[in-house]
Every structure is written in structure tokens, then in C-alpha cells.
Amino acid sequence: MQVAFIGLGAMGYPMAAHVLSGKHSVTVYNRTGSTAHRWLDEKTNNHPDASIADTPVLAAKNADVVLMCVGNDDDVRSVVYGDKGVLSGMKRGAILIDHTTTSAELAIELGKACADKGLRFLDAPVSGGQAGAENGKLTVMLGGEQSIYEQVIPILDCYAQKHALMGGVGKGQLTKMVNQICIAGLVQGLSEALHFATQAGLDIRQVVDVISKGAAQSWQMENRAHTMVKNEFDFGFAVDWMRKDLDIVLNEAKRNKSTLPVTALVDQFYAQVQANGGGRFDTSSLITLLNKH
């Protein structure tokens, strides 16, 4: 397929390379042009099917599938709409896939905008962090039509170990919200557990080795416990982005009348981490608030 990839951040940079490795033609666009040129130099080995474009509309021209992975709702709108946006360049029948974590309302808006232009749309937020993107092991939660989803499975397989259609447009974003609710509570619980174990004089490595084989086991414990106790917080998904995601979650909770007391509390803990200068720390940095006591 002819693919356009919009956004070469920590996630998009390796994802676009995986698509190219999957024997698809890839044209990339990034707001910071030097990053796009670096991607071309580092990730393509002068592959004839790799190129860069100066604007989203030029990247999307002639593409069968346009993938986006940018920052937030406003960033998505900035590359979708207007004379330079992808909607102005996509050919009729092409598919737009948004891997950005956004509001469900934006997904529905984009779905309608695509339909009005004879285009097709899938909202498709991802989970797995920078390591998952680099290793091609992401999880993708999609919203849209089954027939569209089936057509892009060869693309998704390039960088995902698991992908599933969760329902109509917006359901992928709602599923990602569930994912972030789980992470928030798990990281706070793990932080408190490690803090307690330290205060109790236990051998952290031994404790984690034992309890990770039982009911307390989680991805966070397996991958972050030992780095947390060593105050290492440079693992990709930043607190700033987690707060953006939790803001989306809490706004949606107000709309659908969900009660999320733990999520709201942990969001405020992340706000404290930001205030302490840890906005670029990864999400496991919640433990820093406990280690001060």
C-alpha cells in the first residue's frame, strides 16, 4: 500500500519505519522538518519507497492509508483541516487512521468529516509505550467499520502484537481511556507497596520476585518496580502526556456519569509530580511523592 505517516514523535518515529519494513511505500510528514530528514537517514537505508513531504496535504496525496500519531486534539485538527491538512489531499476512498490518544468527541468529528469527503476513518489509539513502538509490539484499540478494519490489518500487523475493533467510531478512544484508568491505579498501588516495603526494611528485589508470581503481578510490576526504587524515570511515556490522557478520561466520566475517585486522585498526584519538575519523567515517578516522607 501507499502510506502516509503524519507525526514522528517517540511513537511515530519507529512505527513509520515498521510500516516501511512491511514492504509498504511510506511518505512521512513531521512539524519539525529536521526530524523527518533524520528519520529518512536513520530508518530507511535509502529505501526507494521512503520519502518526506513538506506539508500534511502533500504527504497524503495518492496515499491509500494515512496514519497520524501526534499530541492532542488540537494537534490532530492542525494536520487534518485546512488547505495544508490531510483531508485536502486524500483521494476518494482512502482511509485515515488516527493513532493519537484523543477525546471520543474528536473521533466522531473526524469520522463525519471523512464521510463528507468520501473518505473512511478509524480511531486507533495505541498502548505499549515507546518500547512497544520500537519493538513492533503495540496494542491498538480501534473504532470504526469492520470492513475498513479488515483492509488495514496488514498495516497494523507491522507494529502491533494485538489489535481489535471495539465497535463504532470513538470506541477505540473510549477503550484507551479504560487502559489509562487501569494504569493510573496500578502505578499508585505499586508505588505505595514499594514505599511500604522499603520502610519495613524488606529486600525489594526479593519481595518483587515473590509477589510477582502471585495475584499482585502486573506489567507495571514486572517492568518498572526495580527502576522505581532506583529513582530511574526515563522510560518513554511522560507524566505530561499521562495528565493529558487523564484529563480526557475525567471529562468523559463527567459526560457519561462515571465515578472515578481513584483516577481523579492519582491525576492530582501527577500534577504534584509536574509541579516538582517531573513533567518529563515517566508515569512510574509517582513514587517520588512518597519517598519524600
Spacing of C-alpha 51 from chain mean position: 24
User: Each residue of 202-218: b (16+ CB within 10 Å) or e?
Assistant: eebeebbeeeeeeeeeb
Residue 46, pLDDT score: 85
Q: How far apart are CA 238 and CA 93, in angstroms?
A: 36
> 110, 78 in Cβ contact below 8 A?
no
The maximal CA–CA distance of the chain, rounded, in angstroms, is: 65
Residue 45, pLDDT score: 87
Residue 293, pLDDT score: 55
Q: What is the mean pLDDT of each run of 10 residues along the chain (293 residues)?
A: 97 97 97 96 93 98 97 97 97 98 98 98 96 96 98 98 98 98 97 97 97 96 95 91 97 98 98 97 97 69
Q: Which of 132, 182, 131 is nearest to 161 (CA)?
A: 132
Q: How far apart are CA 155 and CA 1, in angstroms?
A: 8
Sole residue written with cell 522510560: 235
Residue 225, pLDDT score: 96
Q: Going from the N-terminus, what domains does the chain have, and what CATH number goes with each?
A: 2-167 (3.40.50.720), 174-290 (1.10.1040.10)
Residue 235, pLDDT score: 83
Q: Element (H or E) spanning 93, and its range?
A: none
Residue 189, pLDDT score: 98
Q: How far apart are CA 111 and CA 119, in angstroms?
A: 9
> 243, 274 in Cβ contact below 8 A?
yes
Q: Give all strands of the β-sheet with 138-142 in edge-to-edge order.
A: 126-127, 138-142, 160-165
Phi, then psi, of 282 in degrees rounded to 5: -80, 170
Active-site residue set: 176
> 63, 211 in Cβ contact below 8 A?
no
